Structure 1
């Protein structure tokens, strides 16, 4: 396993209580960073922090609520120091359904969490990174944001927005030692699959030339490099984790 030195860094990982976010947080702690997990699930947060031990803290927060995100940021910096690494992994997939019958309120909820939430978290963390002239940000998008998955219009649209937001912010901050990138994973073996039907899950697997879902550890490996000081040039970029599915 490649190793990266994240000592002296404080990473906030949203959606960090489980799945991709937790795998990344674990790898950050193993690399010497202090980590604060943000998640809406308080029970899972407590369990996850106990696994990560000494260098991990947690804050229960709904990233769709901007004032709550501001408060979480203040609390995190008071307890662990300035945030120098940010990973936005919080998000929801929503149910699978055609656009013309998609539940209107569910569509709004997905956009609120996946798009507005990503904006909120970047919004509170970027000023401090600019002031200190250092930061590493990774927003978790999806292959759905590139290709558009059928019966997942809300999710696909939200992840396309995350890609666009990342590219814009990367250009805005290119004059600082701040790297802003995103990854576009194919379906990973996480609890998000519990929101989908068996038929839809099999459809997603069939689209991946590797013939399997992404392992969370594989995503953590890529993201750990992206948040390291070694990633000092690449910004506003999209890194593919689709197992060969992406064609561009």
Structure 2
């Protein structure tokens, strides 16, 4: 399928690693002009700006630099995110750890939307990274689940308010990324008894939602979990 992304002006946050890096590389491969905002250096071929997405002033300046380089915006992809303490009961989770997860995963997306929309072209597209954890949960993941649920609600709210652009989010299940391996361990990924996605697979979902091929899709959370959430927990 031709996604017609050649020459599109794309901004990706969290584009130095994991899903964000895969997205940046996939857009570059499609012939798009890509800028990356991250605290680390982005991939070769992309215009890189270092900034913390939770800092309003830093992010505003970074967006201005990226837009100045690109000459505008057609697509914005919000990939910056953290998992926080995994496997820690909420009652044992420090308040600053909870705040950090919400700051990056929720406030970071809000600020990204705030600072990029004035530069967004008519008919542009936002794709935010949420998670299947917005719909299902596991013990020790309360702050993360809450943050990703907020991204799903944010997606719908932005789709209503941002009339010049479509806004959707992707909600993958476990993805093989450096962050997932750090949280779960290599064995949990390599020897999993359930399917694990690659970052490249998620990037292809993002590209579709960013393209005109999905122009009728707006305000939606695309759940990509191999159908696991559709299964009843009751014995059949």
User: Is the TM value for this pair above 0.5?
Assistant: yes
- What is the correspondence of 1:20-169 to structure 2 with a 5 Å cutoff? 20-42=19-41, 45=42, 48-49=43-44, 53=45, 56-96=46-86, 97-129=88-120, 132-169=121-158
What is the SS of the residue equivalent to 2:73? Answer: coil
In 1, are the aligned partners of 2:35 and 2:48 still within 8 Å (CA)? yes
Query: Any idea what SS the aligned residue of 1:233 has?
Result: coil
User: Secondary structure at the residue paired with 2:217?
Assistant: coil
Q: CA deviation at 1:62?
A: 0.3
Instruction: Kindly tell me the number of residue pairs found equivalent between the two proteins.
Output: 229
1:6-25 map, 5 Å: 6-25=5-24
Matching of residues 162-181 of structure 1 within 5 Å: 162-173=151-162, 175-176=163-164, 178-181=165-168
8 Å CA contact 1:170–1:235 kept in 2: the answer is: yes
- Taking structure 2 as the reference length, what is the TM-score of the superposition? 0.91
Structure 1 CA distance for aligned equivalents of residues 70 and 184 of structure 2: 40
Residues of 2 paired with 1:200 and 1:104: CA distance? 30
Give the drift of 1:201.
4.2
Runs ≥4 residues deviating over 3 A: 197-202
- Provide the residue aligned with 1:220 in structure 2: 203
State the Cα RMSD in Å: 2.0
**Which structure has the highest strand share of the two?**
2
Query: Alignment partner of 2:31: what SS?
Result: coil
Q: How far apart in 2 are the matches of 1:95 and 1:41?
A: 22
Task: Give TM-score, length-normalised by structure 1.
Answer: 0.86
Q: Which structure 2 segments of 5+ residues have no match?
A: 232-236
